[in-house]
Structure 1
């Protein structure tokens, strides 16, 4: 069977029997050659990023992919999607009608990877530690609705929430709520370096050069108890690369077995079109999005009409077709397509790109043109297409005659620090969701203490619409307030969504479980991988 390119729908579980037939899992045969996975994610420790693998600090897709293999959570998202299910817990659920009291009972006999006991007190310690440290770059915002954590005996944990939140089980499935060994993590300070002491399916050993990880080796944790049982006894090695081309060359030569983050459009086309290559490309649903963010207090863009005019001029189809090809599609909302509550608010508000309409918006607001702006982007975090994307954005705005735009690229660490400090009026960012619910595409950008440190504050969104949406356990019932939020964002333009990405995995054809290697939120699931017989 020559798979080459497999396209996996959102209901991927329906295809599992077919895909499983493409190769036999090694079945615990004791084969000890590592399964090597390439990535363009980089893991470095410095004064600015002292604790890349500390759950109280880590809040990027790459670091979370390390933590998801090693740090256990009370809940997890099943491989085919759907509602969160118990993981370190044997059962969890709301115990009131208002979604304000959530209770979990731990599995019996849980231990950390060193064999020490894991109790309800360790869960309480881990959650409260994230909230106490409250690092500005960290994920504490996901847990900010927790009013108190209490324990009952060795195995029961009760969360009291400040306000109803039906999405809370999803948040407990993220590394922000990861359970760490209290003996190894300071209650009030970050743990520097790359060591992890937890209870997940794997333990981690890293090779480090110049404070940067050059190899991360995952070994089955013999003490692990949970639902994420590794499909192979082999170790799994994660090997960072400077760029996707070097990673692709290593895949072709057999130095690595699989690459997922990030496969370029050119590689997708090349690998999928080569029938003689012993490499398969799997396409699967993705929820990655890219957008422009605005410091709405900055003089250049504080006038809403300037942001609206930009929204009126941007041609998303040109960006996706010229830069990303089939790997991306235009996005007209903060909430991606396939997520309950999605609506094309920006298209409904602005329609197709129009210089005449943009000029009318600026003229009505009395804005002098051309408006001088710098679009800032990061050179080393979202892939090689970012610069080309911003060149097109620049040209689209300048060709209207209404803007005088320059672009500026900066390495990620400085870029992120500068963005948080308000150095940029306009900047490009990406978002990989923490969990697949509309709330996670709204609150991180618009709620208090948001991810962007944005000065934009809409009281109706924060005080009415977000709380209303979180009250609905049936997420279909939350659609109306979610749609209202999107309409307000389209009118005020504190952020400007650009495109939604698909995701691809390329692997040598003796690697099994490739179809499960990433879920829709771009979370690596290395425990699904095995080594079998190529087709």
Structure 2
């Protein structure tokens, strides 16, 4: 997201102990009334992120999980995954054989939550607004293949693309294409703060302390017309300082469900010693973690250094020490369960091999030990991150080829510094915007990429990515995707480390939990109920 996360340019802040305690027993989580969901996602309106919930700015999983409840998109991915289906639209389809013209017809009688009619002009306004604002931290890159937007009457929108893009329906299902009201959103600037309103299944009221969102109350939108079936009248999303505080609130009945992010220790404990009245629900997940490199910065400007790091990382040990059963080794940017995946890094480097790394450095004339700082964020990706980076340091230092320093930085400082190119090597995660190999490649390797990296491979950018997007049958894109993954393994602008498993925990009596988070980590609060089956 980003979402993706990308997930990932999340607004981050620190919650005071008093605010964290709002999830304790007696706070109204159990019984009748609102279903209360806990999260460790943090949101702050600050100078570097004044508009954390504006769809032209928001590009992280936490913010998107709020926008998906409140704003409507033309398309959405069904609860079980697969190809997008109409949501605000009644019908969407390519109207040419080249995948360059895409037409959507709106459902009749659409309204925003305040009663204003929603028409094709609002769709055009919303998409063009993202393109016009073109925020460097925002999701505008998802619309890179879009040329112009045309309206035909009150209910028809035609998207004319610059080049064939069979993934465009997926992109219309993301908050990058969310529909907003021109009466409440300016066309050329961001909407500061935490206000968000649209035509989605809920309206949202934000509770804010010290410019930090501590509670979001979602109330069923009686004007909503779309494809989603809403199983409740109200849901509260509460933020917690850490997984331990969130888990305590669940145990005491202060919340009904905990989502992002359970700690590895909590997952292990709940798996081995289930707690009465609480169920742990495993789900497929496509979140990935990786090291990225500023290929213009010393010492990783030398490709052999990046290759040597790739040659000695032991993913199995890394996962065992930091994440236990909550992750799987990843040898490509594209997760193993996504069509088009190739184990390119394993094919090139195999298991951890110090001798091979030494040969790479020696062949390039690189003096050892290479002094290298590995940067990570201390408060954005969960409790295992520090242990992960200490393990990476230990592995690299043990080869005597590297002399590694590990540095942790809060997200509010970390992400802006990374975007400015201040780190040579740094860790990030990615929550995909949609389930297609393209979304694990384009955001990292296209011109205006999520990382802001200077790495550019003309074969990937100008030939293979466009070739992959011409394939209507996504299986036909596998050859292009395979070549891209092999090039990434050769050049190592990023080093994939692991793919996450996904868990939520909920109290007995809450239904729809198994559908409450999909495999790209979208929170689907409308699926939750009390004694309701879906």
Q: TM-score range by the shorter chain?
A: over 0.9
- Equivalent residue for 1:471? 470
CA contact (8 A) 1:513 1:528 kept: yes
- Equivalent residue for 2:224? 224
- Equivalent residue for 1:48? 48
In structure 2, distance between residues paired with 1:528 and 1:475: 29
The CA deviation at 1:229 is: 2.2
Aligned pairs (5 A) from 1:426-445: 426-445=425-444
Structure 2 regions of 5+ residues with no counterpart? 1-30
Q: CA 1:213–1:365 in 2, change beyond 3 Å: closer, same or farther? A: same
Look up the SS of the partner of 1:480 in the other structure. helix
- Equivalent residue for 2:118? 118
Q: Does residue 57 in structure 1 map to residue 65 in structure 2?
A: no
In structure 2, distance between residues paired with 1:354 and 1:105: 56
- Equivalent residue for 1:35? 35
1:111-131 Cα distance to aligned partner (Å, 9 max, x none)? 100000100000000000000
Look up the SS of the partner of 1:238 in the other structure. strand
1:47-73 Cα distance to aligned partner (Å, 9 max, x none)? 111001100000000000000000000
Look up the SS of the partner of 1:408 in the other structure. strand
Q: Does residue 325 in structure 1 map to residue 350 in structure 2?
A: no
CA contact (8 A) 1:271 1:277 kept: no
The CA deviation at 1:232 is: 1.7
In structure 1, distance between residues paired with 2:437 and 2:327: 19
Look up the SS of the partner of 1:149 in the other structure. strand
- Alignment length, in residue pairs? 503
- Equivalent residue for 1:519? 518
The CA deviation at 1:272 is: 2.9
In structure 2, distance between residues paired with 1:62 and 1:520: 15
In structure 2, distance between residues paired with 1:303 and 1:384: 32
Q: Does residue 87 in structure 1 map to residue 69 in structure 2?
A: no
Look up the SS of the partner of 2:497 in the other structure. strand
1:66-86 Cα distance to aligned partner (Å, 9 max, x none)? 000000000000001110000
1:456-504 Cα distance to aligned partner (Å, 9 max, x none)? 0000000010000000010111000000000000000000000000100
- Equivalent residue for 1:148? 148
- Equivalent residue for 2:66? 66
Q: CA 1:313–1:34 in 2, change beyond 3 Å: closer, same or farther? A: same
- Taking structure 1 as the reference length, the TM-score comes to 0.93
In structure 2, distance between residues paired with 1:172 and 1:214: 29
CA contact (8 A) 2:287 2:432 kept: yes
Q: CA 1:396–1:160 in 2, change beyond 3 Å: closer, same or farther? A: same
- Equivalent residue for 1:196? 196
Q: Does residue 492 in structure 1 map to residue 503 in structure 2?
A: no
- The RMSD of aligned alpha carbons is 1.1
- Equivalent residue for 2:353? 354
Q: Does residue 98 in structure 1 map to residue 60 in structure 2?
A: no
Aligned pairs (5 A) from 1:101-250: 101-233=101-233, 235-250=234-249
CA contact (8 A) 1:510 1:533 kept: no
1:325-384 Cα distance to aligned partner (Å, 9 max, x none)? 111010000000110000100000000101111000000000011111100000000001
Aligned pairs (5 A) from 1:229-378: 229-233=229-233, 235-275=234-274, 277-378=276-377
In structure 2, distance between residues paired with 1:382 and 1:351: 27
Look up the SS of the partner of 2:323 in the other structure. helix
1:94-145 Cα distance to aligned partner (Å, 9 max, x none)? 0000000000000000010000010000000000000000001000000121
CA contact (8 A) 1:272 1:280 kept: no
- Equivalent residue for 2:18? none
CA contact (8 A) 1:331 1:498 kept: yes
Look up the SS of the partner of 1:261 in the other structure. coil
In structure 1, distance between residues paired with 2:321 and 2:276: 27
In structure 2, distance between residues paired with 1:311 and 1:197: 45
CA contact (8 A) 2:55 2:67 kept: yes
Look up the SS of the partner of 2:251 in the other structure. helix
In structure 2, distance between residues paired with 1:79 and 1:277: 28
- Taking structure 2 as the reference length, the TM-score comes to 0.93
CA contact (8 A) 2:264 2:384 kept: no
The CA deviation at 1:214 is: 1.1
In structure 1, distance between residues paired with 2:447 and 2:348: 26
CA contact (8 A) 1:119 1:155 kept: yes
CA contact (8 A) 1:300 1:425 kept: yes
The CA deviation at 1:32 is: 5.5
The CA deviation at 1:509 is: 1.0
- Equivalent residue for 2:393? 394
Look up the SS of the partner of 1:448 in the other structure. coil
In structure 2, distance between residues paired with 1:86 and 1:136: 29
